[in-house]
Amino acid sequence: VFSAIEMAPRDPILGITEAFNADTNPNKINLGVGVYYDDNGKVPLLACVQKAESILIEQPTPRTYLPIEGLAAYDKAVQELVFGADNAVIQERRAITAQAVGGTGALKLGADFLKRFSPDSEVYISDPSWENHRALFESAGFKVNNYAYYDAATHGVNFPAFLAALKAMPKGAIVVLHACCHNPTGADLTQDQWGQVIDAVVTNGLVPFLDMAYQGFGAGIAEDGAVVRRFTETGVPLLVSNSFSKSFSLYGERVGALSIVASSAEEASRLLSQLKRVIRTNYSNPPVHGGKVVATVLATPELRQLWEEELAAMRVRIKATREAFVQKLKDKAPGHDFDFVREQVGMFSYSGLTKEQVAKLREQSIYAVDTGRICVAALNSKNIDVVVDAIAKVL
Ligand code: LMR
């Protein structure tokens, strides 16, 4: 049964981490995976998380099964964060939220759920999109198409082409949108452009699936979530996946959620009953610890305040790093214009480096995604000159 199975290719993002881990050069730098490192090159353990863990240790609880849809306090806190506490979809009990195994797990739940109830729909993802989007929806059984999004010449969004693509999608198509901090390009829409996107989605009867893995890394928590709120105001069916991997630096705890907005409380309860079947047949029910940590932080005013400050500090450091990166490249690679890096939003820069240039960087133990995506949040005051020199050389 196993003899004919071929070797699978390495994952385009996590495979880079595998190669990085295998590299014995002590000065190696990983700009591949989307992980925030502090200026000392360490993944931070947030103070709000440590304080929440102290609280939890003082009140030890047995590790029984959580409900299929996760910890109730977590689901409530997530819903308020994602939609805004005063959102009508919460007051009217039209939104359901289930704890998920990271943002990826939330996308997978949404994909499996949609495949059960809208099996003939096709999925549309941006060109380019997060490397795992296509594989994830294909593995749920969907045909996955690209919609025009990024314009390499301007390093921005080709908005007319994007809008035209939305308008050409068939009714019922599932359109995956990045709520903020577009991964991989860092090219986001303006509020006005979002308005036009929302109009096109509503007019065309599309099913929006908002992926929000980087809330708080763009302009702020509320600002980054604004588009979710705007979608809820239209009354269209809506799916939202979110993640606390980055915003709480809880990568390995796998804490995320899937929220679905229905047209009535009665419909919402039917959706939840079906979503629970999807969860039950995937992994039964989610793990306890990460959800408890996030729920504790979000529901405790001092910890919540601390979290918002810590998240803001990460956001600010990334912005300052973009600035330093642009300035240094101006000195070291004067013939090349990297000003666009300053305008990009979130953790990443779609640097414009080619696959060949990325391969050359790898010879110097600097790891980036083949598409030229680099994680700006992995640059720091100690490694930035090495990276800039290496980029100048490969250019
Ligand atoms: C990334 O894009 O690097 C992150 O979202 C990590 C992942 O799971 O790919």
pLDDT, tens digit (0-9, with 9 covering 90-100), for 171-192: 999 999 999 999 999 999 999 9
In this prediction, residue 394 carries a pLDDT of: 96
Q: What is the mean pLDDT of residues 83-107?
A: 97
Structure-block tokens of residue 127: 């060109």
Q: Give the DSSP per-residue string, 36-92.
A: ---TTS-----HHHHHHHHHHHHS-----PPPTT--HHHHHHHHHHHH-TT-HHHHT
Contact present, 210 and 241 (Cβ < 8 Å): yes
Neighbouring residues of 201: CB distance < 8 A, sequence distance ≥ 6: 166, 175, 208, 231, 234, 236
What pLDDT, in 10s, does the model give residues 214-232? 999 999 999 999 999 999 9
User: How many domains in the chain?
Assistant: 2
Distance 351 CA to ligand 1 centre (A): 17
Q: What is the mean pLDDT of residues 15-35?
A: 95
- 58, part of any domain: no
Question: Would you give the DSSP letter of residue 170?
Answer: P
Q: What is the mean pLDDT of residues 103-130?
A: 98
* d(C-alpha 138, C-alpha 182), whole Å: 21
CATH number for the domain spanning 221: value is 3.40.640.10
* d(C-alpha 95, C-alpha 92), whole Å: 8
In this prediction, residue 283 carries a pLDDT of: 97
Structure-block tokens of residue 354: 């080619």
Write down which residue in 299, 315, 336 finishes a domain.
299
- Residues 236 and 279 grouped into a single domain: yes
Question: Would you give the DSSP letter of residue 10?
Answer: P
Q: What is the mean pLDDT of residues 53-58?
A: 97
Q: What is the mean pLDDT of residues 86-114?
A: 98
**Which residue among 130, 176, 350 is best mutated to probe the pocket of ligand 1, counting the most ligand atoms within 8 A of its Cβ?**
130
- Does ipTM come in above 0.90? yes
Give which of 122, 103, 267 is closest to 207, Cα–Cα: 122
- Residues 294 and 318 grouped into a single domain: no
Write down which residue in 299, 314, 335 finishes a domain.
299
Domain that includes residue 345, residue range: 14-45+304-394
In this prediction, residue 153 carries a pLDDT of: 94
Q: Who lines ligand 1 at CB under 6 A?
A: 13, 33-34, 104, 130, 132, 183, 213
- Residues 274 and 314 grouped into a single domain: no
What pLDDT, in 10s, does the model give residues 305-353? 999 999 999 999 999 999 999 999 999 999 999 999 999 999 999 999 9
